[in-house]
Amino acid sequence: MNQRILVTGGAGFIGFHLCRRLLESGWRVVSLDNLNDYYEVSLKEARLKILSDWPGFSFHKIDLADRAAMEVMFQSEGLGQDDPIVNLAAQTGVRYARENPDSYVRSNLVGFHNLMELAARARCPHFIYASSSSVYGGNTRLPFAESDNVDHPISLYAATKKSNELTAHVYTYTYGLPTTGLRFFTVYGPWGRPDMALFIFARAIMEGKPVPLFNYGDMKRDFTYIDDIVNPLMKLIDHTPAPDLGWNGNAPRPGRSWLPYRIYNIGNHRPVELREFIRVLEKALGKKAILDLQPMQMGDIPATFADIDDLAADIGFQPVTTIYEGIPRFVEWFLDYYDLRK
């Protein structure tokens, strides 16, 4: 195989793992990332160093919101109708939006629009993009399904991801651009993000600092191991969505369309109580946590649980990694990367 693909956010957690899997599978990967300092840039650079050892990998330090630089990159790489795009670049995080809301507008709205416009001009064969389980917002019926209404976000991050889904539908309608949106559910694993719960908890435990548990620890998350994200992503690249011939405008079903447009949940389908998550982490680290029980934070939701029936039906997706396997794998990497073995 010598097929080429554009992956944005290639220095990020999911982007790094996807790029590495693509390169191992024989793809040529064009990637970009703005290497912002939302979390430690050195971690992003370390991921890129690994990817750069592959001759089929090319990297551009570009911000999606920089339209001129994006256009130059598309032209210099000659990206066109044979090259799928996976957009994983975004300003992430729920709480950070209260400190820096402009970064979400710039990256997740302006940047997303720029990329979609260039993808449409290039006649991209399939545009896949990261949405988020946070779009379910104020919904309380579990598990969350793509057929649910998601019109009540409770964070700016969630609102921008909902906007991405709407924008994608418009570009599918206007330009015939096949699009697939992926609602990720709490992804974790080696090379993960330092702003995510597992990383925060592991650092606090190793440093003997209190571990913050919001909603007084009464939280459940559909923790999804990174391999259970990358495996379906690899299948979806060549799985261009087909129009849903049964779609009915009198009773429109969210997540589907009469156009080549789909939205899927990708989750572990096994919600885990936060306290059990901590217990497994304590065992893997060999140290007890000091728990700091705090009230619910603005923008958070008490539980996530993915209905994955659509993805299972379309590509045979079944997550296989439990926290009892995934957390120790993260800990092995974490202790080695930060040289914490003593």
Checking if the pLDDT of 1 tops 70, the result is: no
Give tens-digit pLDDT for 25-79.
999 999 999 999 999 999 999 999 999 999 999 999 999 999 999 999 999 999 9
Give the pLDDT confidence score for residue 61 in this predicted structure: 98
> Among the listed ranges 6-20, 61-75, 91-105, 118-132, which one has the minimum average pLDDT value?
91-105
Residue 296 domain flag: no
Give the pLDDT confidence score for residue 303 in this predicted structure: 85
More confident site: 7 or 99: 7
Give the pLDDT confidence score for residue 218 in this predicted structure: 84
- 266 and 272 in contact (C-beta within 8 Å)? no
For residue 73, which amino acid is it?
A: M
- 179 and 127 in contact (C-beta within 8 Å)? yes
Measured between alpha carbons, how far apart are the two ends of the chain, in Å? 44
Give tens-digit pLDDT for 117-130.
999 999 999 999 99
Q: What is the DSSP letter of 183?
A: E
Could you give the strand order of the β-sheet that contains 85-87, starting from the edge strand earlier in sequence? 57-61, 28-33, 4-8, 85-87, 127-132, 179-184, 261-266
DSSP line for 4-60 = EEEEESTTSHHHHHHHHHHHHTT-EEEEEE---SSS-HHHHHHHHHHHTTSTTEEEE
Q: pLDDT confidence of 293, banded at 50, 70, 90?
A: confident
Q: pLDDT confidence of 295, banded at 50, 70, 90?
A: confident
Give tens-digit pLDDT for 166-214.
999 999 999 999 999 999 999 999 999 999 999 999 999 999 999 988 8
Residue 218 domain flag: no
Domain that holds residue 31: 4-188+225-268+305-320
Three-state secondary-structure class, residue 261? strand
Residue 311 domain flag: yes
Residue 67 domain flag: yes
Checking if the pLDDT of 299 tops 90, the result is: no
Known active-site residue 337:
no
Checking if the pLDDT of 136 tops 70, the result is: yes
Give tens-digit pLDDT for 318-328.
999 999 999 99
The mean of the pLDDT values for the chain is 95
Residue 174 domain flag: yes
Residue 281 domain flag: no
CA 15 from chain centre, in angstroms, equals: 8
Give the pLDDT confidence score for residue 2 in this predicted structure: 64
Task: Let me know how many helices (H) and strands (E) the chain has, helices first.
Answer: 11, 13
Residue 207 domain flag: no
Residue 262 domain flag: yes
Q: Which CATH number belongs to the domain containing residue 155 in this structure?
A: 3.40.50.720
**Phi, psi values for residue 91, rounded to 5°:** -85, 115
Q: What is the CA radius of gyration of the chain?
A: 19
Write down the H helix ranges in the chain. Answer: 13-24, 41-51, 67-77, 101-104, 112-121, 156-175, 197-207, 227-237, 274-285, 309-315, 323-337
**Mean pLDDT value of segment 85-106:** 93
Give the pLDDT confidence score for residue 341 in this predicted structure: 82
**Mean pLDDT value of segment 259-279:** 96
Residue of 39, 104, 157, 171 marked active site: 157
User: How many domains is the chain partitioned into structurally?
Assistant: 1
Alpha carbons 287 and 236: distance in angstroms, whole number:
40
